[in-house]
């Protein structure tokens, strides 16, 4: 009887596993091999150079600069997005009072749609939108500075090597916050109102309610969000490629954009594959460390 059940299960799994192996696992394995060659994208028999590409990476200043920018994104982006998302979600769900019961602030339904709106836009639209906002001649941001009497302060934003990475990061935060507001809202709405009402009867204020009730009960969502945002911070390819293409003077270069330029602009596919392997290992290590450091006992309700 059990043998028949296993045959049915295996028959359903064989084709998906086969497709996954061909289209997902196989390219990864090929990338590992190509990273050990000097493949230029044309030859079917690229010269094997061992760890030569990895040795060159350690001497590549642009690679280290890109890695530094990924590190800045990794530190700032998850913290900014998750802190802002938790704050907004708490305000929309548990910061107000309605007829003596816990509720969101007035107009929370409208705010929820407004916050989520940026996330439904494609990355291309978000990038172009913010390029126009940062336009130093007729952009919205410099126009606003003129209106409030700061016409003498007219930064070039994406053209300034000291500001460009922070300007791009602001656009990424604006793009991602809405999604996590909705994610944390769903988590908060699953918390029974009786828990909030008990905290209210005990005299807990909003801050104490958030740190003692909401955050512990949402910790699983926060942990998952940290891992996901960390992975996004190690990528960042699409929006940086659209907004700055890694410039000016590599001031917004990250590993993903440098990898793309190395492969498709300079035809150094072996060297670019070595960057891909390093990025892959960083992502795995980051996910493992984040899950280990943020591990907490599950709070049930």
Structure tokens that stand for 294 in this block: 């943020």
Say whether pLDDT at 271 is over 80: yes
Mean pLDDT for the chain overall: 87
pLDDT tens-digit readout, 14-52: 888 999 999 989 988 999 999 999 988 888 888 899 999
pLDDT tens-digit readout, 90-130: 888 877 777 666 777 787 788 878 888 888 888 899 999 99
Counts for the chain of helices (H) and strands (E), in that order? 15, 2
User: Which residue has 């290992």 as its token pair?
Assistant: 281
| pTM, full prediction | 0.85
Provide the CA 281 distance to its chain's centre, in angstroms.
Answer: 17
Say whether pLDDT at 1 is over 60: no
Distance CA 188, CA 34 (A): 47
Determine the pLDDT at residue 274.
94
Query: Mean pLDDT lowest for which of 11-25, 135-149, 156-170, 192-206?
Result: 192-206
If one compares 288 and 203, the residue with the highest pLDDT of the two is: 288
Determine the pLDDT at residue 268.
92
Q: Which residues contact 155 (CB under 8 A, 6 or more apart)?
A: 136, 142, 163
Say whether pLDDT at 248 is over 80: yes
Which band of pLDDT confidence, cut at 50, 70 and 90, is reported for residue 256?
very high
Mean pLDDT of 229-255: 90
Q: Which residues are registered as beta bridge partners of 97?
A: 102
Q: How many alpha carbons lie under 13 Å from residue 119 in its C-beta half-sphere?
A: 16
């Amino acid at each position: 009887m059990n043998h028949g059940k296993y045959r049915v299960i295996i028959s359903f799994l064989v084709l998906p596993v086969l497709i996954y192996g061909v289209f997902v696992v196989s390219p990864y394995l090929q990338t590992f091999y190509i990273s050990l060659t000097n493949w230029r994208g044309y030859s079917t028999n690229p010269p094997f150079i061992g760890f030569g590409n990895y040795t060159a990476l350690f001497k590549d200043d642009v690679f280290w600069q890109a890695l530094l920018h990924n590190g800045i994104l990794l530190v700032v982006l998850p913290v900014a997005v998750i802190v802002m998302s938790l704050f907004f979600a708490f305000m929309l769900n548990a910061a107000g009072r309605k007829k003596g019961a816990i509720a969101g602030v007035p107009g929370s339904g409208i705010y929820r749609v407004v916050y989520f709106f940026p996330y439904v836009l494609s990355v291309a639209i978000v990038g172009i939108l913010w390029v126009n906002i940062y336009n130093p001649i007729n952009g919205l941001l410099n126009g606003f500075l003129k209106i409030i009497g700061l016409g003498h302060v007219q930064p070039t934003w994406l053209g300034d090597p000291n500001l460009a990475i922070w300007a791009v990061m602001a656009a990424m935060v604006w793009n991602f916050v809405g999604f996590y507001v909705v994610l944390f809202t769903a988590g908060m709405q699953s918390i029974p109102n009786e828990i909030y009402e008990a905290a209210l009867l005990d005299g807990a204020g909003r801050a104490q309610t958030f740190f003692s009730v909401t955050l512990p009960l949402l910790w699983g969502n926060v942990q998952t969000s940290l891992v996901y945002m960390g992975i996004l911070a190690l990528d960042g390819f699409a929006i940086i490629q659209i907004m700055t293409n890694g410039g000016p003077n590599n001031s917004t270069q990250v590993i993903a954009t440098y990898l793309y330029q190395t492969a498709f602009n300079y035809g150094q596919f072996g060297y670019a594959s070595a960057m891909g392997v390093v990025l892959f290992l960083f992502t795995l290590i980051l996910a493992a460390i984040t899950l280990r450091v943020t591990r907490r006992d599950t709070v049930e309700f």
